[in-house]
Amino acid sequence: MDIFLETKRLILRQFTEEDTDFLWNLDNDPRVMKYINGGQPTPKAVIQSQTLPRFMEYYSRYRYFGVWAVIEKETEAMLGWVHFFPAVDHPFAVALNLVQPDEIALGYRLIYQSWGKGYATEACQILLNKGFSEWGVKRVIAWALVANQGSIRVMEKLGLTLEKQFRFTQDQLPYFSFEERQAVKYSRGS
């Protein structure tokens, strides 16, 4: 296992091709995807040809930025992923004029059974700590739909504060109504 970082309960490691089935299962749980794509299923071919290659490409592009699998130490079970990379890598965020070139985007997606146990906060906290103290990060941002109160609570626990509200476009979130596309951007400086 190629360990990137460790916390008290978690290991963050690089993704491999062997993680395809896990990612497919994660992205096909309607509870997990409710605030991402309205709970729509993701074809396995998309995971294999787009998602996983995009995740793995970060490891050759950056030393400290990317998407990492989150593993529970005690059980060695994969819980999901966290990302910490230049915000301008999110085309939709650029299209909405939501990000600046010096901002790092923080994000997370975990299996439903792990929600409410502090895993997202713990995994993201080590990224923030390393980013601000060792990797030269000056500003971190994250966003979520207003309805996604669990994700917003994680941002707040991490010390991010509300910066602004915005709305995703119908093209970006076609399975959501106008009201449901309302979102918030949170941020934190070093």
All domains of the chain in start order, with CATH: 3-141 (3.40.630.30)
Scanning the structure block, which residue is given the tokens 């050759």? 60
In this prediction, residue 104 carries a pLDDT of 98
Residue 123 CA to residue 81 CA, distance in Å, equals 9
User: With a cut of 50, which residues of the chain have pLDDT below it?
Assistant: none
In this prediction, residue 75 carries a pLDDT of 97
In this prediction, residue 190 carries a pLDDT of 85
State CA 157 to chain mean position distance: 16
In this prediction, residue 103 carries a pLDDT of 97
Helix (H) or strand (E) holding 10: strand 10-13
